[in-house]
Chains A and B, each alone.
Chain A
Amino acid sequence: MTASRTQHLVSSSIILVIALLVGWVSFTEQPAEAFLFPRLISIFFMIFALWNFIRAVMGLSKVGEGISGQTARAIFPGLIVMLIYIFWAAKGYGKVPALEGHWLYDWVRRGLGFYTSSTIAFFLLYSLYDPAPITDIRSWLKRIVVTAIFMAIIYGLFALLLKVQTPRGMIF
């Protein structure tokens, strides 16, 4: 299965735009000495991106399976959990100056902390993609046990053995 010509066109144009942006920045930003090497690289970057784009236009781009609707649908829930987990739950993120100082905002901004969010994310993702029927009590129990064991290993390795200081959130 290979990606459609349209998909190759879209992907190669995005790369071409990035390459042109990199080239533009390299040739306009100062100080010039610091951008000497970027200029050199960006020339090659733009040439290859253009070459790749022309191949896509001519329909010569054959490798790569592309992203089908089915794949996108399968990935979507996991991707959402992943994004919330990494960009907010683990440490918290965001700056809204108007709200700064408000206790609820400050609290939410702190995120859930590494261990809490990892436990929840692990359990959620596991449950989302576990083929067991949703009504099966035993598979729910199994998932809880596996999550607990995995997080215990992570805690033992990173917190106890390596003493990595991880961000704490609202709870832990």
Chain B
Amino acid sequence: MEFLSYFGGVFEPLAFALLVGGTIGGLILGATPGLSPTMAVALLIPFTFHLSATQGLILLGAAYTSTVAGGAVSAILLKIPGAPANIATALDGHAMAKKGEGARALHLSFLSSGIGGVIGVLLLIFLTPLLAQWALAFGPSHLFWLAILGVTVIGSLDSKSFVKGLLAGCIGLWLSMIGYDDIQGAQRFIFHDALAGGIHIIAALIGIFAIPQVLDMFAKGRSKAKIEAVDVPQHAFSASAKEMGRSGRPLTIGTIIGSIVGLIPGIGGQIAGLVAYDQAKKFSPHKDKFGTGHPEGLIAAESANNAMVGPSLVPLLTLSIPGSPTAAVLLGGLLIHGIFPGSDIFERNPEVIWTFINSMLIGQIFMVIFGIVIAKQAAKIAQAPLPIMASAVLVLALFGSYSVQQSMGDVWIMLSLGLGMYFLEKFGFSAAPVVLGLILGPIAESNFVQGSLIAGAQFDGPWAQAQYFTTGTLNIVLIALVILSIGYSFLSHRASGRAAVNVEGVQA
């Protein structure tokens, strides 16, 4: 309960102002397409030069929490996920906004972010020493299987056809290999100079999600009759709050998955939302409603991606190992102020660290409040006339993808991927497996290569690699999960496939 005694630090005038400013600023930066939480926090680092260690960390902590949640705003309203964490949010969130339920989607998203986030930070407060060991338990072979487990999710994620889901995943995996190979430095699949740097995930996300949507709006043409004039029902916050109360299952699934996955260095933050979305779908009685604007998917995804924030700091604070790119930037923020992470950090710098963690706790609450306040106004954006929306999304896509690395090549890649995705979508492929492949490809590959090298040294004989990758409890558990996951999606697709055929038969 030591942390309670440091709550005072959060409410000092300047610290409090920074907390509020960081939260609002974080929401805006997070909602800006092309600015991932990592970039947003990196942009704020220079401001902390002029602040004390505690104040600087309050600013960074508040910004970290709120940028992750802010990414949901553009995912829901514009279908441009601000970061990989928000991909799953875009799937159902944007469908809700299109139905005129933008305010409801934003309410639910902020509430579940807040709940997931608070639980995540509480885990950080109470279980840090325990969790630190868990974070270290994952070696190259385990991370490889985890990535493969993520890939198997592809088969059941947001696609209507089993083989097309897997094929889309393969396309994503292939795209992830374009450019210089990270370990050997060899050039692979570089057809054009712009591809030499590989495909940047943020630019790819913008293209894959935003461009097909722009073209879909063009496809509606200029005939007035076809423009959706949705009647927006007033959506009271109290109704959203009640709905949250009834959504225990997706919220629990999201929070648990977010906390566990968030701990694993190098993989967590990116896929927590997608995995939670997939699991919520598997456990839901309304599987077929996912992807059509069903709140359960949104709640699971958003609670997961904020629940991951707290635990992702565990390996950072205790072992100085940043678990995510954003945590790496935070590490810089700590070091600049002479705070060295380590298992005794809570004894050496209790004031700074506890105030930092407390500010993240209170930041979550502020984030929910501000999010709810802006929700009603912001939701109107999704109601803008289609021609304005289409042009605005296109211009934002250009600026967003350019500002990631200030590179025109990224913009061209963004548009090319977007056009390709449009045609794929028209033939029954969906975007989520492609981006999942794009995210997991490098993780699977680098751990495969490292694991193979280590295997050669640890075991003898021709089966060294197989031995390394398949022995040990954790490996066996993960392999079992992979098999289960494949089996499940194959069977459920067969079942739903038959049902669909029957329906068609009846109609014919």
Query: A and B: direct contact (Cβ < 8 Å)?
Result: yes
Is A66 touching B399 in the complex (CB atoms < 8 A)? Answer: no
B417 to chain A, nearest CB (A): 12
Q: Which residue of A lies closest to B217 (CB)?
A: A129
Do A64 and B427 touch (CB < 8 A)? yes
B388 interface contact, C-beta 8 A: yes
Contacts of B398 in A (CB 8 A): 85-86, 90, 114, 118
List A residues 38-52 near B (Cβ within 8 Å).
38, 41-42, 44-45, 48-49, 51-52
For residue A116, CB closer than 8 A to chain B, the reply is no
**Residues of chain B lying within 8 A (CB to CB) of residue A86:** 398, 411-412, 415
Nearest residue in A to B392 (C-beta to C-beta)? A150
Known interface pairs A35-B188, A87-B412; A42-B214 also in contact (CB < 8 Å) = no
Q: Is B181 part of the binding interface, using a Cβ–Cβ cutoff of 8 Å?
A: yes
Please pick, from B167, B188, B189, B391, the residue contacting A126 in the complex, using a CB distance under 8 A: B391
A162 to B402, CA, bound (A): 13
Does B98 make an interface contact (CB < 8 A)? no
Is B32 touching A66 in the complex (CB atoms < 8 A)? no
| Structural contact, A31 and B390, CB atoms closer than 8 A | no
Question: Once the chains bind, are A67 and B408 in contact (CB under 8 Å)?
Answer: no
CA distance A125 to B445 in the complex (A): 42
CA gap between A73 and B399 in the complex, in Å: 28
- The answer to the question of B335 belonging to the interface, with a C-beta cut-off of 8 Å to chain A, is no
Given A41-B174, A44-B170, A52-B163, answer yes or no on A79-B218 (Cβ-Cβ < 8 Å).
Answer: yes
Contact call B427/A66, Cβ cutoff below 8 A: yes
Q: Which of B222-230, B237-245, B271-279, B290-298 contacts A (4 or more CB under 8 A)?
A: B222-230
Asked whether B164 lies within 8 Å of A37 as measured between CB atoms, the reply is: no
> B490 at the A/B interface (Cβ < 8 Å)?
no
Q: Is B425 an interface residue (CB 8 A)?
A: yes
A135 to B2, CA, bound (A): 71
Counting chain B residues whose Cβ lies within 8 A of the other chain, the interface size class is: 35 or more
- Bound together, the chains give a CA A125 to CA B396 distance in angstroms of 14
Q: Which of A53-78 contact B (CB under 8 A)?
A: 55, 61-67, 70-71, 74-75, 78
Question: B186 near A34 (CB under 8 angstroms)?
Answer: yes
B160 touches A63 (CB 8 A): yes
State the total of A-B contacts with C-beta under 8 angstroms.
175
Contact (A64, B425) CB under 8 Å given A38-B188, A129-B217? yes
Q: Which of B32, B219, B399, B423 has the most CB of A within 10 A?
A: B399
Is A22 close to B, CB under 8 A?
yes
| B387/A129 in contact, CB under 8 A | yes
- CB neighbours of A91 from chain B (8 A): 408, 411
Given A91-B408, A166-B402: A66 in contact with B426 (beta carbons within 8 A): yes
A105 proximal to B (CB < 8 A): no
Q: Which residues of B contact A78 (CB under 8 A)?
A: 214-215, 218, 390
Residue in chain B with minimal CB distance to A44: B170
Contact B163 A48 (CB under 8 A): yes
Given contacts A114-B398, A122-B392, 4 further A-B contacts (CB under 8 A): A33-B184, A41-B173, A48-B166, A52-B163
Q: List 28 A-B contacts (CB under 8 A).
A: A11-B426, A12-B427, A25-B189, A31-B186, A34-B184, A37-B177, A38-B189, A44-B166, A48-B163, A48-B170, A51-B167, A62-B500, A63-B427, A66-B426, A67-B423, A75-B215, A75-B219, A86-B398, A86-B415, A90-B398, A90-B408, A122-B392, A122-B394, A122-B395, A150-B395, A154-B399, A157-B32, A166-B402
> Could you list which residues of chain A lie within 8 angstroms of chain B, going by C-beta atoms?
3, 7-8, 11-12, 15, 19, 22, 25, 29, 31, 33-38, 41-42, 44-45, 48-49, 51-52, 55, 61-67, 70-71, 74-75, 78-79, 82-83, 85-87, 90-91, 114, 118, 121-123, 125-131, 146, 150, 154, 157-158, 162, 164-167
B interface, CB within 8 angstroms of A = 32, 35, 43, 160-161, 163-164, 166-167, 170-171, 173-174, 177, 181, 183-184, 186, 188-189, 214-215, 217-224, 227, 385-388, 390-392, 394-396, 398-399, 402-403, 406, 408, 411-412, 415, 423, 425-429, 441, 444-445, 448-449, 500, 504
